[in-house]
Amino acid sequence: MINRTVLIIDDDEGLLQLISMIFKKNGAKVITANDSLDGISKFFIYHPDLIILDVIMPGYNGFEVCRRIRQVSDDPLIMLTALNDEQDMLRGLAAGADDFLTKPFNPQILLARSRTVLRRTQRSNSHNESSASFSYNDGFLSIDIERHEILAHGKHIKLTPMEFRLLVYLARNAGKLLTSEKILVSVWGSEYRGSIEHVHVYISHLRRKLEEDTKNPRYIQTVHGIGYIFEKQELGYKS
């Protein structure tokens, strides 16, 4: 975290100080804000490398702050929530969050997650997200990893970096039953062990973007209690 600038936006003064201390001890420059408007202002002033954002705050909530930041920046952003609710995670994902942590949490876990999202951003920016080219095209869904491009029915589909990583991982392993734990470790990393809800939430969001009928998906099939399978479609598949 040396020489990284971290913006922490949270109205809980005690938690704000605790998180600040953790990042400062690891070499980061820390900027804090205890409400949404101050957070947005400091985002534009300091151009942080990483944003830590609480969901429930005075003024705009964290989802709205995240959406405003995403209008101008793809910088890594982790949301903190006291609500262990899948719908809130989906809202955060839709707003553009890179990761979620439910309060209370171990500050060291936040630090580890922060390092992970920063590494992902660095790899993505240097176009080294994958060591090998990959493409998939069945006439409806097209995945081009070198162009970082997804098309569905000829229309560009905007995916977050994590959504893209997940989709490519599933498609590379098409036809294989992948346990939720294997997906979690392979796509997010070993430090995410135990956070299976990440897989379920991101799969749900991918389906909303890619599938014509999310209740009867063609591509990402659920094997209840175990995991998921990406099913290739015949070339020339039409909607």
Portion of the chain with pLDDT greater than 90, in percent: 51
Q: Which two three-digit tokens encode residue 152?
A: 């569905």
DSSP 231: P
- Which position has the higher pLDDT, 135 or 6? 6
The confidence band for 21, taking pLDDT boundaries of 50, 70 and 90, is very high
Residue that is last in its domain, among 96, 125, 154? 125
Residue 186: what pLDDT? 92
What is the mean predicted confidence (pLDDT) over 158-182? 91
pLDDT tens digits, one per residue of 30-70: 999 999 999 999 999 999 999 999 998 888 899 999 999 98
Residue 68: CB atoms within 10 A of its CB come to: 17
Say which CATH number the domain at 38 has. Answer: 3.40.50.2300
Tell me, yes or no, whether 159 and 106 share the same domain: no
Residue 237 lies in a domain: no
Q: Do residues 201 and 184 touch, judged by C-beta distance below 8 A?
A: no
- Give the global pTM: 0.74
Is the domain of 49 the same as that of 99? yes
Residues 6 or more apart in contact with residue 212 via CB below 8 angstroms: 218, 239
Domains in the chain: how many in total? Answer: 2
Task: Tell me, yes or no, whether 224 lies in a domain.
Answer: yes
66 domain residue, yes or no = yes
Where residue 129 falls among pLDDT bands split at 50, 70, 90?
very low
If asked whether residues 116 and 171 sit together in one domain, one would say: no
238: in domain: no
Domain boundary among 71, 99, 125: 125
Q: Are residues 98 and 174 in the same domain?
A: no
Q: Which domain holds residue 141?
A: 135-230
In a shared domain, residues 107 and 10:
yes
- Nearest-CA neighbor of 159 among 151, 76, 169? 151
Residue whose structure tokens are 């299976």: 196
On average, the pLDDT of the chain sits at 87
**pLDDT, tens digit, 9 for 90 and up, residues 68-97:** 998 888 889 999 987 666 777 778 877 888
The enclosing H or E element of 171 equals helix 161-172
Q: Is 175 exposed, middle or buried (0-12, 13-18, 19+ CB in 10 A)?
A: exposed
Whether 38 and 105 share a structural domain = yes
